[in-house]
Amino acid sequence: MAPEFVKVGKHNIDAKEYLAPGHTFCTGCGEALAIRLVCKALGENTIIGMATGCDEVCTSPLPVTSWRLPWLHTLFENAAAEVSGMEAGLKAMMRKGKAPQRDIKFVAMAGDGGTSDIGLQALSGALERGHDFLYVCWDNEAYMNTGIQRSSATPYGASTTTAPAGKLSMGQQTQKKNMVEICVAHEIPYAATACPSYPFDLMNKIKKAVEIKGPAYVHVFVPCPTGWRTPSNQTIEIGKLAVETGVFPLYEVENGRYRLNVDPPKLKPVEQYLKPQGRFRHLSPGEISEIQERVTEGYARLKEKATSFPAG
């Protein structure tokens, strides 16, 4: 019999693969890595509701599927609403004796566009209503499935197909929407950031998020070699650099209290993160230092929160 768990250091990782091989994600896709790990953290008593996006398209070409977990996809903007219905519906059926009593994890998954743009209303509604579910956002910082169009999660200065760098433009002119803070403002019990470059941190957060009663939100930073124009063997490295430069800090917010999970003694210069990526190649030294200033300030603000309102 195959072992149920694989021991990695002090961690027991579910040996089962819930995302079956044969999917069509790009080589080096950070999202595919994250989905695999997140599903291992969730385990088999899980029902997934997914928004339209790379994750859905790459895993479900009829009549086959990569999903070994029960899985629903309907539309782009409604993952939080459909999972609201699953959670409330199955719990009502359990209460009424129409379905066996058991602990099922209800999980919504969507990309950054499906979360911070078109799906924001449905997410806000589901968080406010207090459904007992986990919402996972795969943030690759643009509409990658449709061809690298900008979203509200695209960072300042990135070149995308609808906010391209050109003679008169340095690409994205707006700052990345802060989804975690928007979720925290709903006063939900748990919100966190994560990245597959830190696999145990990611899996621990998913486990924690589904154990907590009520809505939980995990924002997963998933480098996209295709859209970011990075070599496909650099996905993990890029994710690490995002954290080490303070561009994408790893933290969690429990009942409004903050904890930085990775807090390097000294942040690396953002240039080290920007440089390897084609989407930032056009940036001038002045623009890079502007980004550096914002990152430094943002990180300091986050540290201040973690000091003033510390978790646990």
Which of 90, 212, 236, 288 binds another protein (CB under 8 A)? It is: 90
Kindly state the smallest distance separating residue 72's Cβ from another protein, in Å: 5
Name the residue type at position 239: G
**With contact defined as beta carbons under 8 Å apart, do 133 and 50 qualify?**
no
CB-CB neighbours of 304 under 10 Å: 11
Identified binder of another protein from the candidate list 23, 38, 46, 107, rule CB under 8 A? 46
Residue 121 in the binding site for another protein (CB under 8 A): yes
Among 6, 8, 15, 93, binds another protein (CB under 8 A): 93
Nearer Cβ to another protein, position 30 or 119?
119
| Residue 92 interacting with another protein (CB under 8 A) | yes
3-state secondary structure (DSSP) of residue 17: coil
Assess 61 for contact with another protein (CB under 8 A): yes
Least separation, in Å, of the C-beta of 212 and another protein?
20
Q: How is residue 70 annotated by DSSP?
A: -
If one asks whether residue 91 binds another protein (CB under 8 A), the answer comes out as: yes
The single-letter DSSP state of residue 16 is: -
**Taking the complex as a whole, how short is the minimal distance between the CB of residue 129 and another protein, in angstroms?**
7
Residue 97 CB, shortest distance to another protein, in Å, is 10
Tell me which of 12, 27, 65, 284 binds another protein, using CB under 8 A: 65
Instruction: List the x/- string, 198-237, binding to another protein by CB under 8 A.
Output: ----------------------------------------
β-bridge mates for residue 110, sequence order: 137
Q: How many residues bind another protein (CB under 8 A)?
A: 49
Nearest in space to 155 (alpha carbons), one of 72, 56, 245, 251: 245
Residue whose CB is less far from another protein, 88 or 311: 88
DSSP string, 157-224: T---SSS-EETTEES--SPPP-HHHHHHTTT-SEEEEE-TTSHHHHHHHHHHHHHSSS-EEEEEE---
CB of 42 to another protein, least distance (A): 10
| Of residues 136 and 241, the one with the C-beta less far from another protein | 136
Question: In angstroms, rounded to a whole number, what is the distance separating the alpha carbons of residues 55 and 74?
Answer: 13
Would you count residue 83 as binding another protein (CB under 8 A)?
A: yes
Give the three-class secondary structure for 246.
coil
Specify the 3-state DSSP secondary structure of 100: coil
Q: What is the largest CA-CA distance in the chain?
A: 65
CA gap 121, 243 in Å, rounded: 29
Element (H, E) at 136: strand 134-139
* Per CB under 8 A, 89 contacts another protein: yes
Is residue 26 at the binding interface for another protein, with CB under 8 A as the rule? no
Give contact residues for another protein (rule: CB under 8 A).
44-47, 49, 56-57, 60-65, 67-75, 77-78, 80-93, 95-96, 98-99, 104, 121-122, 124-125, 128-129
